[in-house]
Structure 1
Amino acid sequence: MVYSYEPHHFEEFEEGQTFRSPGRTITETDVVMHAATTSDWNELHTNEEFARERDFDGRIVHGPMTFVQAIGMVMRIGILERTAYAFLGMNYMDLPNPVRIGDTVSVDIEVAETKALESRDDVGLVVFETEMTTQEETVVFQGDLKFFVLKTDQTEFGS
């Protein structure tokens, strides 16, 4: 496992490389801010009594917030700092278990694919298999994140 906070250009990524983010504890404030910015005040996230009556035994974090936290944690690793040109999307995303307020989550990523592009000489495609787990190693997010990453001779966007 590589713990790296150094930016990587396209040529520095190799299939099979792995990276791990620092942990982060999800707070009440995170949930309230997400609800406020998305207007998603679903009671599973905002009403303890309502959520206790459901299968979750208490409030859970929004699924989209889990995804957003995963992306943020990938960026926090540092390997895409100033080299990520574009996030292109995903082929799949799974949220097999809920995140709860107070969970400490971290992300493991593996370089699943690197591909030089005939149509672009400034960037290459890097696909990361991504998994977020809680402090108890419960998997709460899985997905393949696709990025255009700058090549080594591209030190600034548009150069």
Structure 2
Amino acid sequence: MAYSYEPHHFEEFEKGQTFHSPGRTITETDVVMHAATTGDWNELHTNREHARERDFGERIVHGPMTFVQAIGMVMRIGILERTAYAFLGMNYMDLPNPVRIGDTVSVEIEVAETKDLESRDDVGLVVFDTEMTTQDDTVVFQGDLKFFVLRTGEASVEP
């Protein structure tokens, strides 16, 4: 599977296109850095003894961290490098299963919609149906990520 994608402008996206990210193993350091950055030291994520007594039997990754990792992996694919103008939000987000420290995650995105904007001629709307899975194909994130993407000629994608 190829992982090296070139940046895409709005006109280069077509409904149904799919892109895949490389995998990334979630580490103890990732969890500690997320807790320190956000101030969320919930013991389900940071206290092994407490978490051992809970439903999952071990510490799990913060739900918001799972979302943030998904966004990062979408950006790592490379198709939005220097062409993403704005992340606009989502209509839905599901976290159906936890990510555990040591899981290797990756994302697959599919272009769900492209839309010309009457109010702007420099960007278009691209919606990506996004799914993050673990090494054993367990789905841990699903959502529709909405971006304004620059049109051809509106940004240089040269390094």
- TM bucket (normalised to shorter chain) is over 0.9
> Is contact 1:111-1:126 (8 Å) kept?
yes
Structure 1 alignment gaps of length 5 or more:
none
Query: Structure 1 stretches (4+) deviating beyond 3 angstroms?
Result: 1-4
Counterpart position of 2:11:
11
**Could you say what secondary structure the match of 2:74 adopts?**
helix
2:48 & 2:33 partners in 1: Cα distance? 17
- Give CA-to-partner distance per residue, 1:23-80, whole Å, 9 cap, x none: 0000000000000000000000001111111101100000000000000000000000
Percent identical among aligned pairs is 88
Structure 2 alignment gaps of length 5 or more:
none
Give the counterpart letter for 1:57 in structure 2: G
Cα shift at 1:4:
4.0
Cα shift at 1:151:
0.2
Structure 1 length-normalised TM: 0.96
**Could you say what secondary structure the match of 2:91 adopts?**
coil
**Residue 111 of structure 2 corresponds to residue 111 of structure 1:** yes
> Is contact 2:3-2:22 (8 Å) kept?
no
2:145 & 2:14 partners in 1: Cα distance? 15
1:155 & 1:101 partners in 2: Cα distance? 38
Counterpart position of 1:129:
129
**Could you say what secondary structure the match of 2:29 adopts?**
helix
Give the counterpart letter for 1:29 in structure 2: T
Task: Provide the aligned length of Structure 1 versus Structure 2.
Answer: 156
Give the counterpart letter for 2:150 in structure 1: L
**Could you say what secondary structure the match of 1:66 adopts?**
helix
**Could you say what secondary structure the match of 1:92 adopts?**
strand
Superposed CA RMSD: 1.0
2:152 & 2:40 partners in 1: Cα distance? 41
Give the counterpart letter for 1:27 in structure 2: T
Cα shift at 1:3:
3.8
- Give CA-to-partner distance per residue, 1:86-115, whole Å, 9 cap, x none: 000000000000000000000000000000
